[in-house]
A and B are shown apart, each in its own frame.
Chain A
């Protein structure tokens, strides 16, 4: 079974803080994704990466950056957290064939 883990289930940060959300997968998948999930808006793609050191903007990249130094790890960075970034953040990885996409358990971030 594919395992996707995220560093924290719940996180509380203050406005202006730098926030790191870590995601690790154990299946050597090349494609990894960061989404945020908000009530009434579904899942929106923030960034994705199709290889080490490669990254592409998703639909809502503003206020975020990412890092992919190793294949198994994809980090989402909030350079200066704001209250409108309070959300559930979900990491995902996709199998090489593209058939299946697996999600981590999510990190619920509250920015005060």
Chain B
């Protein structure tokens, strides 16, 4: 089955750019998601990208997809303290379009 991996922790200074990386294993994955989870809350869908796209930009967020390497990244420009959260990468694959999540990357923004 699909396996999604991401680093556990990232620390950046306020105003800098953050880049959170993710790798997945199933080359037939159709969609890839980025979710944000703040403490005690559910998951908030930040953005998604189709597998036939290389890049998607949405305000401060830029998603890059390297399908050959099965590598996905989320760049947050001008990172703010409110961006501190856990970010989950997820990939959709298989007949039932199952969603497999990474373990989550905790982003710490230092003022």
Contact = CB atoms under 8 A, between A and B. Distances in A.
By CB atoms of chain A within 10 A, which of B42, B48, B97, B99 has the most?
Answer: B42
Contacts, number: 51
Contact of B96 (A35, A50, A100, A106): A50
B103 A40 contact: yes
Interface string A90-106: 10101000111111111
B99 A90 contact: no
A60 to B, nearest CB: 13
Given A40-B103, A42-B88, A98-B30, A103 B42 contact: yes
Interface of A: 31, 33, 35, 40-43, 45, 48, 50, 56, 58, 90, 92, 94, 98-106
Interface of B: 30-31, 33, 35, 41-45, 48, 50, 88, 90, 92, 96-99, 101-104
